[in-house]
Amino acid sequence: MSEGFAVCGRCGGRKADFDRVCPHCGFRPEGDGLLIAWLLSTRHRDTASLDAVSERIRGGETVRPSAKMLATARRALGRSWASDPGLDTRQRLALLATSLLVTPLVGLMLAVWWYGTKPRAALQALALSLPASVLFFALGVWLILT
Ligand SMILES: [Zn+2]
């Protein structure tokens, strides 16, 4: 199993790993395409079944994995709640300090940025920066009113 490879979801050609640009057609899997790409690699299937899939793609077939297979890939790639480790303590403290001392916008932006790929980290960023946002808002109001 040391010689891993992946099959390009567009042309069926072989490439070194699922997240690489295909050397045959230049296709680069992104977003959910990465999930399909992972399913078409030796990380998920054996060589024989990948060769069969490659043959089918070359024959013009489009790869349409089931929702269950996509969920498997999502889990394996750390894009689901269950496998997202979230932020560690140091990262949370850094984010809290940034939110309080600089601007809570950083946390809010990270939350939006991570929303699709790191749900747990996104929620933590939001939880850390929201109170700071309220504080900044209150401070702003206080400064205006006094
Ligand atoms: Zn290709």
Q: What is the pLDDT of residues 74-84, one digit of tens each?
A: 888 877 767 77
Distance 75 CA to ligand 1 centre (A): 25
Distance 135 CA to ligand 1 centre (A): 51
Give me the residues near ligand 1 (ion), CB cutoff below 5 Å: 8, 10-11, 13, 22, 24-25, 27
Distance 18 CA to ligand 1 centre (A): 11
User: How far is Cα 88 from Cα 125, in angstroms, rounded to an integer?
Assistant: 11
Residue range 41-64, pLDDT digits in tens: 999 999 999 999 999 999 999 989
Distance 15 CA to ligand 1 centre (A): 8
DSSP 61: P
- Expressed in percent and rounded to 5, the helix, strand and coil fractions of the chain are 55, 5, 40
User: How far is Cα 102 from Cα 139, in angstroms, rounded to an integer?
Assistant: 14
- At 29 the pLDDT is 92
Cα 64 to chain centroid distance, Å, stands at 20
- At 106 the pLDDT is 82
Q: CB neighbours of 20 closer than 8 A, spacing ≥ 6?
A: 6, 28
Low-confidence spans in the chain with pLDDT less than 70: 1-2, 81
User: How far is Cα 73 from Cα 133, in angstroms, rounded to an integer?
Assistant: 36
- At 1 the pLDDT is 44
